[in-house]
Amino acid sequence: MATLVSAAALAVCVSAPVHAAPPADAQGSLTYYYKEDGLPYNGSLDEPELGVCHNIFAADFTAQAYAPHNLTNAIAEVFPNRDCTGLPTLLLPDSPQRPDTLKFRSAKFRL
């Protein structure tokens, strides 16, 4: 009898719903432009990790990336300074490309 009760209890525990962990990465890309030696180039952050500050490698301490286009499924916060400091600009998921006047050096993503 005790075995039957234990088996029933185990069946209830096993049948409990399993919740999937939230994705660790945003799906898609944040594209942008940057200048190097006066020439414009395209750059992107592909499948960026959520909740992590991403410094734009091409945007050193004197240059900035510009004209971001958030093609991810997450909200992107772009910051004027490295290490996600300064007043961020929010870019909604899959939003239109922003103008060249929006310059940034780092970005963070959240759902």
* Banded pLDDT at 103 (limits 50, 70, 90): very high
* Banded pLDDT at 13 (limits 50, 70, 90): very low
Identify whether the C-beta of residue 68 lies closer than 8 Å to the C-beta of residue 104.
yes
Identify whether the C-beta of residue 41 lies closer than 8 Å to the C-beta of residue 65.
no
What's the rounded Cα separation, in Å, for the pair 96 and 99?
Answer: 9
Q: State the DSSP code for 34.
A: E
* Banded pLDDT at 8 (limits 50, 70, 90): very low
pLDDT tens for each residue of 61-92 = 677 999 999 999 999 999 999 999 999 999 99
Interior angle at CA 98, CA 69 and CA 110, nearest 5: 50
